[in-house]
Structure 1
């Protein structure tokens, strides 16, 4: 698992690799890395989901960093790139000599989490955190945020069901840990 300090160290090493190669790179992180680095909502993540450019050069540099640190070669991956349907509103997370790392703002992150609809592992907790962080109280408010970034036809039905379970009537939700939460 990668905690915030480790992720920042890996970005520093990635910057070094890019500097040696004479390349300036840009990474847009999402998923667990944002929840760790930006929101401090969790202690660690298994990998860094991102979009990046130049793709080949950053992928090569990422593999070199993985080898140097003895971690999985897919610690930095673009598996979530299909969820970036538009350019999100962003803020910088890290700015180094040869690497800029940015993250989507909280409302875009909520929309991504809801559209990906992988409500297993940490995704459910991440969604709950983002709803609370944004002060979203109703399904309608959540839907408005999601539809700001995604057309209705790409929003899975299970997203609606989950939001109803989490938000309707202010009902409490039983977390995976068995704790009653509002």
Structure 2
């Protein structure tokens, strides 16, 4: 697992390799890396899901770092690139001399997590966090946001059930917390 500090250290190492080659790199973070590094919503993430350029140079530098630090070869990967859309909104995160890192905007992160709708991962916790962060109160508000980025045919039916269930369990937890607070 990679902590925020680990990831920032790896980005510095990438920057060093790019500087030595005289190359400039660009990384767009998504998934768990955003939740860990940008929002501090998690302690760690398994890998760094991102899109990056120049692809060949970045892959080679990441492989070298993996070998040097005994990390999985895919610690930096673009497996989630299929969830990006041409209008994926970005927010700047950090810049080094030869590396620029940006993250997906929280609205798009929520849309992406809802479309993926994976119960067996940390997606549920990420969606709960992003719903609170964006101050959304109803499934309708969530789906209005999702539909800004994804056409209806790209939103599986499981996404609707996923969001409705998460919103209901979050509302139930909030109600339980209010009851505990008033009993105290």
SS of the residue 1:27 aligns to: strand
CA drift at 1:93 = 1.4
SS of the residue 1:101 aligns to: strand
Q: What TM-score results when the alignment is normalised by the length of structure 2? A: 0.91
Alignment coverage as a number of residue pairs: 177
SS of the residue 2:41 aligns to: coil
C-alpha separation in 2, matches of 1:170 and 1:48: 28
Larger CA Rg, structure 1 vs 2: 2
C-alpha separation in 1, matches of 2:169 and 2:126: 21
SS of the residue 1:172 aligns to: helix
Contact persistence 2:124–2:166 (CA under 8 A): no
Identify the structure with the greater helix proportion: 2
Say if 1:131 and 1:181 are closer, same or farther in 2 by CA, change over 3 A.
farther
> In the alignment, what sits opposite 1:10?
10
SS of the residue 2:101 aligns to: strand
C-alpha separation in 2, matches of 1:160 and 1:35: 22
> In the alignment, what sits opposite 2:54?
54
SS of the residue 1:94 aligns to: strand
C-alpha separation in 2, matches of 1:86 and 1:71: 31
Counterparts of 1:126-145 in structure 2, within 5 Å, are 126-145=126-145
> In the alignment, what sits opposite 1:165?
165
C-alpha separation in 2, matches of 1:65 and 1:101: 17
Residue 147, structure 1, aligned to residue 136, structure 2: no
> In the alignment, what sits opposite 2:81?
81
Say if 1:181 and 1:81 are closer, same or farther in 2 by CA, change over 3 A.
farther
SS of the residue 1:91 aligns to: strand
Q: CA RMSD in A?
A: 1.9
Say if 1:87 and 1:19 are closer, same or farther in 2 by CA, change over 3 A.
farther
1:1-38: CA deviation from partner (whole Å, max 9, x where unpaired): 00000000000000111111111010001011000111
Q: What TM-score results when the alignment is normalised by the length of structure 1? A: 0.92
Contact persistence 1:137–1:170 (CA under 8 A): no
Contact persistence 1:138–1:168 (CA under 8 A): no
Gaps in structure 2 of 5+ consecutive residues: 179-184
